[in-house]
Amino acid sequence: MILMGLELHHTPVMVPEVLDALAVQPGGRYIDATLGEGGHSEVVLKASEPGGQVLGLDADHEAITVARARLASYGDAFLAVNANFRDIKDVALDLEFLPVHGILLDLGISSLQLDVEARGFSFRRPDPLDMRFSVEQRITAADIVNSYSQTELADLIFHLGEEPAARRIAAAIVRTRPIRTSSELAEVIARTAGGGPRRRIHPATRSFQAIRIAVNDELGSLQSALEQSIPLLGHGGRLVVISYQSLEDRIVKNFMRRESSDCVCPPETVVCSCGHKGSLRLVSRKVIKPSDAEVAANPRSRSARLRVAERV
């Protein structure tokens, strides 16, 4: 796939696990609520032939362009809508795309955003500090970095990035600003936080995560999307979520447990028979992780955590 003269090499994570968790079947109807470059949608479309359909949502208009081109051969079996996953219910209702057999949320930032788009998601290039998934959003990373107080920055980086050096980083940002590019911000953070023997990731990773989450209200959008997903699922329909950091995974875990809190049926039970009053049944009570082979082949998958629940 080529965009703006660059070839994309997108590798969707945990493909066998996703297909198994969704229980993809011929003629099934599925929503890929975080479409990205369409990697997961493509394998779901193949597995659901003949007659399968996929509705893909993404707030990033460039992702929509890439996915439509990639999946053009599937014709009307694939629909792509430029919308945030927090609007999943409205989009599905507008298109009369319900009930569905499965909904997938892959919460990771895409290769397209990291490697191609010049919006400041990557700290390895001097891109403008933007970090918006949609250019229609108002607040940017530059707004946060250059206008928040030192206390506000420290709290944001600590709570949304779980960064131990949040106070030092916030102080360094305030001393240095205005900061205009992602690489400039990354350098300030790296000088302040340092690498240290225990850091397995770039020193700016957690701070960038925190700012990106705040810009896009990712945690609020996730909670809303989870709640809206349940009424879209037919009975036996699967909700599958892949998260990459503990804040997201905690929200998903708590949501699924709460919605299945009254169910005592074993995970292998096909139909709940315990008088369950909730909406979901946990298909797997343990988080599912990528295989060692996948992590070796695709290091970006190493932090992926998959959870799955079924509508009852």
Q: Are residues 70 and 158 in the same domain?
A: no
Task: Report yes or no on whether pTM surpasses 0.75.
Answer: yes
> Could you read off the pLDDT of 132-147 as tens digits, one per residue?
988 888 899 999 999 9
Residue 248 inside a domain? The answer is yes
Domain final position from 182, 216, 250: 216
Q: Are residues 109 and 134 in the same domain?
A: no
Rounded to an integer, what distance in angstroms lies between the CA atom of residue 210 and that of residue 184?
17
CA distance to 39, 78, 103, 104, per residue, from 75 (Å): 16, 6, 20, 21
- Total domains, the chain: 2
Q: Are 50 and 75 in contact (CB under 8 A)?
A: no
Mean pLDDT of all residues in 276-285: 85
pLDDT grade for 126, boundaries at 50, 70 and 90: confident
The structure tokens listed for 213 are 């989450």
Residue 18 inside a domain? The answer is yes
Q: Are residues 97 and 150 in the same domain?
A: no
Residue 250 is part of which domain span? 2-113+219-311
Domain final position from 216, 231, 258: 216
Residue 100 inside a domain? The answer is yes
Q: Which of 11, 17, 45, 18 is nearest to 30 (CA)?
A: 45
Q: Which of 85, 82, 71, 80 is nearest to 42 (CA)?
A: 71
